[in-house]
Structure 1
C-alpha cells in the first residue's frame, strides 16, 4: 500500500502505540510468534486481503477477545471478496470496518444484506511535511524545475503508476480538456510498481512506458510531466514500521 500505509500508520501513532507484525507465512515459529503477538495487543488492525486470514483464524481458534478493525483500503471496488466469503465466520459483532470514503461504504452496503460490524468513514491521512500550500515563489520554482509554463492551468495526479489507477483514462480526459484549454498541463506524481490487477489477470509491466507512448499518440507529450515520487528529505518513521499491508496493529 506504499504511501497510504505510511501515512495511515503515522496518523495512528498520534493516539496509540502501533506494533507492526510483518512475518511472512510459512516462516519458522509463525504460530508461536503470532499467538504471542495477538495476546499482547488491544486491537487487531488488518486489511481485507488474504494475508490477514492467518491472524483472524488464529484469533478465533485461541478464543481471543481483541476486536479487529478492518481497513477497507482499495478492496471495496473489487468486491471485498476475501472478507465476504472466507472470513464471515471469523468476524464478531464488536469488530469494525473502516472506509476511506463514503463511496466505499455505499458499496459495502450494497454487497451485504445486513452487518453488525461497526462502521467508520475516515478520509485518508496525508503527510503535511510533503503536501502543504506553497508560497508563490516556491510554486514558480517547482514549475520552472519541471518545465511547466508559469500561467498554464495545471492538473495533478498523485498515486502509484499502476493500471489499477486508470491513469490512461486521465490522458484521454486531458486530451478533451486541451481542446477547450489549449495550454493545460498534467503533472503525474508517483512511482511505478509491480502489483498486478488480479481480477482482470493484468500485469503492470511497463505501464509508465505505455502511458508515455499513449501521451505521444494523443499529441500530449509536451503537456504531460512524469516527475516520479516526491518524498520528504527526512524519514518520519523507520522503514520497518512503514507497512501495514503485511502487518497488524
Structure 2
C-alpha cells in the first residue's frame, strides 16, 4: 500500500561525495525527489527507477516556486505517490526553511523524518583548511544569514562584529559592502576575510583579503552567489597565507595571554 510520508534530506555542501550514507539510502527509497538549486544533481543518480524528480529550487533573484507553492507540491506528491524526499543543500535546519515544510506536512497528516546533512558553513571553510576555531585565537564561531526575510541586513551581524568569534555569513554577497562597513565600524578593518564561491565543487573559487579590501577583491574576481564568507583571524591559517602555521598559532596564543 502507498504510504504518504516526507523525508527532509541534507544534500551536503556541493561535493556529491559529502553526503551521508543514511541520506543515500533515503534517496534510494523515494517515490518522489524534490530538489533545491544547491543540491548537486549528481545525487539524483541514487533515485530508483520510475522515481519522479523535480526541481523546486530558489536562488537569489530567481525563484522557481514560492515557499507556499513548494509546500503544496510536497503534500500533493506525497498523497499521490507516497514517499517524498525534499533534498536540500547543506543541512535542512540551517537556513533551509525546513520547519515551514514540516508544519505543512504535519497539518496534512503526513509523517516527517529529517536526515541531517553537512552544512556548507562548516564544510566549505574546512575544504580550504580554514578552521572555524583554533586554540589561542578564538573560542567560538557564529553562523548567520546576510539578509533577513524582509531583505534587511541581520541585526546579528552587528553583534557578531563586536566579538572575537569567527563569523560565517551565508546568502550575503548582495550585501557584502554594507556588511563589511559594519565590521570596519567596529574596528575590524584589518581582520582577514575569505570568500569561497561554490565551495567543495569543481567550480570553487576563493578570494582572501581583509574587511577593508575584500569587496574590491571579490568584484575583481567576479565572485557571486552561492558563496560562504568567513571573517576572522583564523583565515590567516590558510596554507597560502604566512608560512609556519605552528608558530602563528603559538604567537597568537602568547599575545592573548599577555
- TM-score (norm. length: structure 1): 0.40
More strand by share: 2
Larger radius of gyration between Structure 1 and Structure 2: 1
Higher relative contact order, chain-length normalized (CA < 8 Å, sep 6+): 1
TM-score when scaled to structure 2? 0.39
Higher fraction of helix: 1
